[in-house]
């Protein structure tokens, strides 16, 4: 009586050990990559190019915002005092340095320093004429006739001619140091000099400044914004910013006044949209080419989730390949473009944008693949 059950038990255990149809998905993916690589290569290259362009354009956008506040970030003051209505470092309105006493009264314990800024004519050792943005500030370690500029501007300043000298506003200056923090899109290089040197070169009166910077050696007070607001209420001809506020205001000024940042960001978004469309099209073409194989899988017991896993795996190959292309190509493009776009850098936030773009593309491709599976007619599945 018990014989049938003892015979059936090993058979049932053997059935339980049989692999599900979906367990062959990794093998199928490897087989497709091995034997159908040429058909996938076009989709991979197209997606990789679109992803690289989108990521590089996004890097240009974030670099544009960063370059708009290059000098405030370089000076790194805790707070800035400017004339009322000034929104950007590059376009100050000179005011009296006598306001330093009023600022000191509202911000006790602070160290107040003048900053001068203005455009001036320059000539290098090769007698090349041009304009520079002269920045006069304290605490640079520069002697009276020494200057510092960004290394990306040395060629534009003709400092590679063997004599690192520059004549600005009739004052002969000698190069003392270089930095990598003052690359700009202005078209006129930033040149940092001591305050009194800038005053002579720009022809400013002894009592005039472009900004007053504020630093707190004992630590930034928690109510700094409230103190700056009180200062502006007491002296409506002045405006007060924290360091971060002035950086953001300078970046936003260039973004709002020129629209260049919006145009660059739009180009990045359009390239990202193109990548999404190319990826969806690549998955749809794969479904079309492999329709017979997919129907055969379903006919042999594969569930919809198994087939969807296969399509998601192929989409994942395209996305991962595109991200690898971004990681390899975007920094190289940035390096190649450095002579023309020295203010552009590929940063971690730009890599994060590429990763988020890849995740979005994978999600969209998955939804498109699910929709493609729903289009299979029932009679075709039954015949398989």
Kindly report, residue by residue over 181-209, the tens digit of the pLDDT: 999 998 899 999 999 999 999 999 999 99
Give the pLDDT confidence score for residue 4 in this predicted structure.
43
**Could you give the CA distance from residue 306 to residue 41 in angstroms, rounded to a whole number?**
24
Q: Cα–Cα distances in Å, from 321 out to 13, 41, 246?
A: 41, 10, 41
Cβ–Cβ < 8 Å for 150, 183 = yes
Give the pLDDT confidence score for residue 184 in this predicted structure.
93
**Could you give the CA distance from residue 204 to residue 198 in angstroms, rounded to a whole number?**
8
Q: Is 91 helix (H, G, I), strand (E, B) or coil?
A: coil
DSSP-derived letter for residue 125 is T
pTM for the full predicted model:
0.82
Structure tokens that stand for 133 in this block:
């943005």
Residues 6+ apart with CB under 8 A from 83: 92, 93, 94, 95, 237, 238, 239
Structure tokens that stand for 315 in this block:
């989409």
Give the pLDDT confidence score for residue 127 in this predicted structure.
47
Site of tokens 């599900």: 20
**Could you give the CA distance from residue 375 to residue 184 in angstroms, rounded to a whole number?**
54
Q: Which residues pair with 83 in a beta bridge?
A: 238
Domain range annotation of the chain: 24-66+260-383, 70-257
DSSP-derived letter for residue 180 is S
Q: Cα–Cα distances in Å, from 333 out to 51, 66, 120?
A: 13, 19, 33
Structure tokens that stand for 288 in this block:
């079309």
Nearest to 242, CA basis, from 79, 74, 76, 75: 79
Q: Cα–Cα distances in Å, from 65 out to 69, 226, 264, 299?
A: 7, 27, 11, 56
Residues 6+ apart with CB under 8 A from 318: 40, 43, 44, 47, 279, 282, 283, 365
DSSP-derived letter for residue 94 is -
Q: Cα–Cα distances in Å, from 137 out to 75, 95, 178, 241, 273?
A: 9, 16, 16, 18, 46
Pairing between β-strand 129-136 and β-strand 190-193 as defined by DSSP bridges: parallel
Q: Is 89 helix (H, G, I), strand (E, B) or coil?
A: coil
Give the pLDDT confidence score for residue 160 in this predicted structure.
65
| Residues in the chain with pLDDT values less than 70 | 1-25, 27-29, 31, 33, 35-36, 124-129, 160-163, 290-303, 375-384
Residues 6+ apart with CB under 8 A from 67: 183, 184, 185, 343
**Could you give the CA distance from residue 158 to residue 175 in angstroms, rounded to a whole number?**
12
Ordered DSSP codes for 327-383: HHHHHHHHHHTTTT-TT----HHHHHHHHHHHHHHHHHHHHHHHHHHHTS-HHHHHH
Give the pLDDT confidence score for residue 59 in this predicted structure.
95
Give the pLDDT confidence score for residue 309 in this predicted structure.
83
């Amino acid at each position: 009586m018990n014989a049938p059950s003892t015979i059936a038990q090993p058979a049932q255990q053997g059935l339980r050990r049989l692999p599900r149809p979906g367990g062959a998905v990794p093998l199928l993916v490897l087989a497709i990559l091995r034997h159908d690589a040429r058909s996938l290569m076009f989709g991979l290259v197209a997606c990789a190019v679109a992803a690289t362009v989108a990521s590089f354009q996004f890097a240009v956008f974030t670099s544009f915002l960063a370059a708009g506040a290059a000098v405030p970030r370089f000076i790194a003051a805790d707070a800035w005092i400017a004339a009322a209505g000034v929104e950007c470092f590059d376009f100050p309105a000179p005011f009296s340095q006598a306001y330093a006493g009023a600022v000191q009264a509202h911000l006790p314990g602070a160290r107040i320093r003048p900053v001068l800024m203005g455009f001036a004519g320059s000539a290098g050792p090769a007698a090349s004429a041009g304009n520079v943005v002269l920045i006069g500030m304290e605490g640079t370690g520069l002697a009276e006739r020494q200057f510092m500029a960004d290394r990306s501007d040395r060629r534009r300043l003709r400092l590679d001619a063997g004599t690192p000298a520059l004549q600005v506003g009739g004052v002969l200056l000698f190069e003392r140091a270089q930095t990598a923090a003052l690359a700009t899109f202005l078209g006129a290089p930033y040149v940092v000099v001591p305050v009194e040197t800038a005053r002579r070169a720009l022809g400013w009166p002894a009592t005039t400044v472009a900004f007053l910077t504020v630093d707190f050696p004992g630590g930034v007070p928690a109510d700094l914004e409230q103190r700056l607001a009180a200062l502006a209420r007491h002296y409506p001809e002045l405006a007060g910013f924290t360091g971060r506020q002035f950086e953001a205001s300078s970046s936003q000024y260039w973004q709002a006044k020129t629209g260049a940042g919006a145009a660059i960001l739009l180009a990045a978004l359009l390239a990202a949209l193109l990548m999404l469309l190319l990826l969806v099209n690549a998955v749809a073409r794969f479904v079309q080419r492999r329709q017979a194989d997919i129907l055969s899988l379903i006919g042999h017991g594969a569930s919809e989730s198994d087939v969807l896993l296969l399509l998601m795996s192929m989409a994942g190959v395209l996305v991962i390949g595109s991200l690898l292309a971004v990681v390899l190509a975007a920094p190289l493009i940035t390096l190649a473009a450095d002579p023309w776009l020295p203010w552009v850098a590929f940063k971690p936030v730009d890599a994060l944008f590429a990763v988020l773009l890849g995740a979005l593309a994978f999600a969209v491709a998955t939804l498109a693949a699910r929709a493609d599976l729903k289009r299979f007619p029932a009679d075709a599945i039954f015949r398989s």
